Structure 1
């Protein structure tokens, strides 16, 4: 068994702030604000090596994912929430419920090797798109526990949300 991934959420999802942000993030305005905070979140996560996020102490399990651009071949870094399962992390391509898959998911399909920055560590990883419908449903339920926004995101789009398993390389 591989070493477990670190897990260091900042704050509490079940506290008043965490619950409020979860409800707000599920709205169109909340999704727009979180999307707009993306560049700032990327910089904060980079400067703190994945310890802190622009979302604040809301218990959001955040990391930085650095992929290889499928067309450019250049590194592309994206702040994401994750579901933690010990030696496996899960990432979901919700794109806030948009009609198109986020670019990072296409990058992983083309180049499944990536690097995550989480809780002060940079870790080389291998990713795999989940195919099993039952497993995808179980993992999606984990994301719904993180934030009810994921239920709203799934309801906004007709596309199937891509879910990736992430393991140490």
Structure 2
């Protein structure tokens, strides 16, 4: 485990972090990603991360969102956790994927077309256990909200999305 990760886990579980992080982390990530021409996501220095480009649920406009992800190496897929840092509403990107499941990710500097699937039932339960093992603060996020945190699996497409 990387040095300092325990401190980061503890800090990221706090309500203060939940208030500040959604405004600061994505803005910094997008700026660094743009400045490095897609080679670096700052938050990915702690956790694996990707930049999701999805279409807005209402507008259809491209929306770029830096997100932590759980790579499923054997399957070549990725799990996304719609925790919203333990804030009450679902993050906007989850609604975008529900409305328009075809998207694109920037993964380790490569653009990858993907299709998102909302996980339910046993599949969700298995992915949630993996998410908790991967990043224990997700349990604190879930405890703070009444909604069920959405989990998505991204699967690589063989052709680019519309």
Pair 1:77-2:69 in alignment: no
Structure with greater helix share of residues: 2
Provide closer, same or farther for how the CA distance between residues 126 and 49 of structure 1 changes in structure 2, counting only shifts above 3 A.
farther
Equivalent position of 1:116 in the other structure: 105
After superposition, residues 64-103 of structure 1 pair within 5 angstroms as 64-86=51-73, 87-103=76-92
Deviation at 1:141, TM superposition (A): 2.1
- How far, CA to CA, are the matches of 2:6 and 2:54 in structure 1? 31
Alignment of 1:41-80 (within 5 A): 41-48=29-36, 51-55=39-43, 57-58=45-46, 60-80=47-67
Work out the number of aligned pairs and report it.
154
TM-score normalised over the length of structure 2: 0.86
CA displacement at 1:44 relative to structure 2: 1.5
- TM-score, length of structure 1 as denominator length: 0.83
Q: Which residue of 2 aligns with 1:5?
A: none
Which 5+ residue runs of structure 1 have no aligned equivalent?
Answer: 1-13
Structure 2 CA distance for partners of 1:78 and 1:168, relative to 1, 3 Å: same
Q: Contact conserved, 1:45 with 1:63, CA < 8 A, in 2?
A: no
Partner Cα distance (1:49, 1:19) in 2: 30
**Residue 51 of structure 1: CA displacement?**
4.3
**Preserved CA contact (<8 Å) 1:114 1:124:** yes
